Amino acid sequence: VLAHEVIEADDVVDGYFTQVKEELLESMVSHPAFGIQLLDALMIAKYMERIGDHAVNIAEWVEYAVTGNYKGERLQ
């Protein structure tokens, strides 16, 4: 159940990344003097999104180990 919750939360994490990316872009246009710091923040947001992707991958393999199903499909 917990593994499935992690998989389902991936869309939420992706949505947050998209939101942060758009807000940082607006900030870069509005405050170009902070460009380097805002770029660093964008990189951090991307790394966090990738951590979420890795967590999903682990959760998919946990689900497979428990159920024999990988990514919602029954293996034969």
- 29-68 pLDDT per residue, tens: 999 999 999 999 999 999 999 999 999 999 999 999 998 8
Q: What pLDDT score does 73 carry?
A: 63
Written as one string, the DSSP assignment of 31-58 is: -GGGHHHHHHHHHHHHHHHHHHHHHHHH
H or E, element range at 21: helix 10-30
3-state SS class at 15: helix
* pTM of the shown model: 0.82
Q: Which of 10-14, 18-22, 28-32, 71-75 comes out lowest in average pLDDT?
A: 71-75
What is the rounded CA–CA span in Å between residue 9 and residue 24? 23
H or E, element range at 70: strand 69-70
